Chains A and B, each alone.
Chain A
Amino acid sequence: MDRMILNLIHRPEMVPEYAEKVTGHGLAEDIARTSLLTESLDIFKTQQRIAHESGLKTTIQMTYASLFSDEAVGLAKEHREKYGDEISLTFLGLPCREFRDKYNTKEFCIWMFSMEDKKAIVRDVFEKFYSRFGFYPESTGSYYMDADLIKHIKTAYPSVKCAVATCWEEGPKAYHTCNNSWYTFLDGGPWAPWIPSKANTHVPAENEEEDSGIVAVPHLSRDLIACYDGNGSNFGTHPQNVLRGMIYKGGKYPYLFNLIDQFRYQARFNNGFSYNMMYVGPGWMNKMGRWEASYKLLYKSYADGCAYYGKLKKQGKLVDMTMSEFADYFRRKKTYTEPECALWRDILYGSQKQVFWYCDPFMRTCVNMDQGGALIDLRPYAAKLVRPVGIGTKHVQDASYPYLIQEKYRAGYFTHYAGEGTVRSARLVYKGEVIDLCLCRTKAHFNRKGKQRVLTLDPVNIEFSDLTLKLQTTITFEEGIGRIRFDRRILEMSRSGEEVNIDEYTVASYGTNEYPEDMTGLVLEMGKGGEKVEIAYEYKCREKMLECADYTACVLPPIATRVSMTCEGREKRGYFKEGYAFSPMFTLGFTGKLRDKEVFTTWLNLERAD
């Protein structure tokens, strides 16, 4: 197995998130309280000690507040010299008396400030950093770094080459878990390191021209099944998050180590590359304990996590790098269009569910083998959507990249009473019986053929009342194109002369959360040669069909996206469906015929609308 890369990051956060709220309950707010500052620095020292005792180097992300502490600055210098740690700079931990006096706000999320304030804060923190260390940092970060912010930093401080730039799937789910009080709407991004485009941080750059100039890493390495369904904060390479989820018993938490190992396993699908990031804020090692976990357990879990990484390093299975070292390594290792792939299994719930995540400059998507290879999430990166965030923009908080398909927010196969949910699947029809592949549980195997990543699903049995057949699905992702190919092949049939109908469909919508957006303005279209059928979306539940269509498509101006389906198959017919107010979706599809040993092929294509 190839060696996994680890970024272990600490920050001396003088006023840790949670600490003031938790330990200071019943006291008037005072973020300059001596006891708070002392404890915070003690936690940072503890984290550094644990890492070094485990034989690991760290990236020390200095917070703005910590730049005013001689002790924190001295420690960073000492550890850089002694252990090879990198001294970096984070936009987390802005709150301190100096910041509040200057900006007159309690805001602390850099991506939500106005652009004017972002520029001023960047200047303040970078220049303060320079005044303390005599050089500018090579890495930075926050929970999210919007494209305009990255562009400004890269222009003003070109030494920066790496940033913590998103928290994977931290959006409405985290918001809900925090009693609707945690405004990090960051869904729809990559789960593993990437080179962000200038247009949109979530979207990997397609080429040098689009390159923002930095390598981005996600905040934590998160469980690609558990985090998609539940509170992201419980299921990542963050030992105390695992405790938060109560995923331990008797001081044992093998899940944490399974999670690390499953990330190591991803090297098989990514040309030998696998990666972990651990970044625990000091608030999580509060001396008073955290929720139900005592300080003793919080400490133990962090020590055990570091010790496991240290053990892997000693075994030659892991390399620890600082963030800037990693940026250099990543640029040598990856090409722009090379996708990130993850064949991921459930390691927690005992369901044996398996999914496949794919991310490249044209899309991020998820295939669910528990639903016969249905696409359950689709982000059209091909649109390279420019979507500024922060005060003064249309999206003050919402930094998520919009979906076309999101089965949790907008239902998937199952809906209540009426309407449809977003999903890309297929149905087989025979003598009035309909069987959807969403109900055919299976597993997949990955292989690479040149520029293609191919998922071959184990065949599934389709049982009609008087006909059975074995069907195999193959899904091919073509690098650098923005296209997914689906092949459905009948391997066996109980009566070989019979014929079944197939309906390949995509139910989609758009948005960034659970609630519907205005579908007015969308255009559904189909074409064959010079013939074109087109309607503007008006919630009228209209359906159109075209024999032997070349394509069926929807143009979504609000997200600058054109999504289409094309087909090669016997007796193919293209169609689209409009949807209605109770079911604000659209459907694209192709129907056709299949006999034993035949194949029906469709493509899902993503483009920028204009």
Chain B
Amino acid sequence: MAQSGKGRLNYRCPSCFLRDLDVDMFFDKEKREYYCLRCQYTGTEADVLRKNKMIRFRYRDMLKRYAEDSFEKFED
């Protein structure tokens, strides 16, 4: 089995990212999968991209645009 390398981008491990850890993954070209050195995650590029977006569940106001004078206005 040959050594692994970086993939197209230096993708982060989705499982670690969800616990506020930015860990670059490496790409196993024989298995065509990314894997994490720190935890047990393995996955395809599509899986990585999909799961790294999971963190957005925290950001309920991610797409909200606040008006300039609204920072002390709270909804009931």
Contact = CB atoms under 8 A, between A and B. Distances in A.
B10 interface: yes
A176 B59 CA distance: 21
A291 interface: yes
Given A348-B62, A352-B74, A292 B68 contact: no
B55 to A, nearest CB: 5
Contacts, number: 105
Query: What size tier do the contact residues of chain A reach?
Result: 35 or more
Given A1-B68, A265-B71, A345-B72, A231 B63 contact: no
A441 to B, nearest CB: 11
A179 B22 contact: yes
A176 B20 contact: yes
A557 interface: no
Query: What size tier do the contact residues of chain B reach?
Result: 20 to 34
Interface in B1-29: 5-6, 9-12, 20-24
A252 interface: yes
Contacts of B62: 247-249, 254-255, 348
A22 interface: yes
A252 B63 contact: yes
Nearest to A249: B63
Given A25-B6, A262-B66, A347-B66, A292 B23 contact: no
A26 interface: yes
A346 B72 CA distance: 10
Contact of A288 (B9, B24, B61, B69): B9
B52 A292 contact: yes
Contacts of B10: 22, 290-291
B61 A349 contact: yes
A558 interface: no
B61 A347 contact: yes
A399 B24 CA distance: 27
A352 B56 contact: no
Contacts of B38: 179
B65 A257 contact: yes
B9 A292 contact: yes
Most buried by A among B10, B38, B62, B72: B62
29 contacts: A26-B5, A26-B6, A173-B20, A178-B22, A179-B21, A179-B22, A179-B38, A245-B55, A246-B52, A246-B55, A247-B56, A249-B63, A252-B63, A254-B64, A261-B68, A262-B71, A265-B68, A290-B10, A292-B11, A292-B12, A345-B74, A347-B71, A348-B61, A349-B59, A349-B60, A350-B60, A350-B61, A354-B74, A443-B72
Given A261-B71, A291-B9, 17 more contacts: A246-B56, A249-B56, A255-B61, A261-B66, A265-B68, A288-B9, A290-B9, A290-B10, A291-B22, A292-B48, A293-B9, A345-B71, A347-B71, A348-B61, A348-B62, A349-B58, A445-B72
Interface of B: 5-6, 9-12, 20-24, 38, 48-49, 52-53, 55-56, 58-66, 68-69, 71-72, 74-75
Give me the 10 closest cross-chain CB pairs, A-B, nearest first: A350-B60, A254-B65, A350-B61, A25-B6, A258-B66, A289-B9, A265-B71, A246-B55, A352-B74, A179-B23
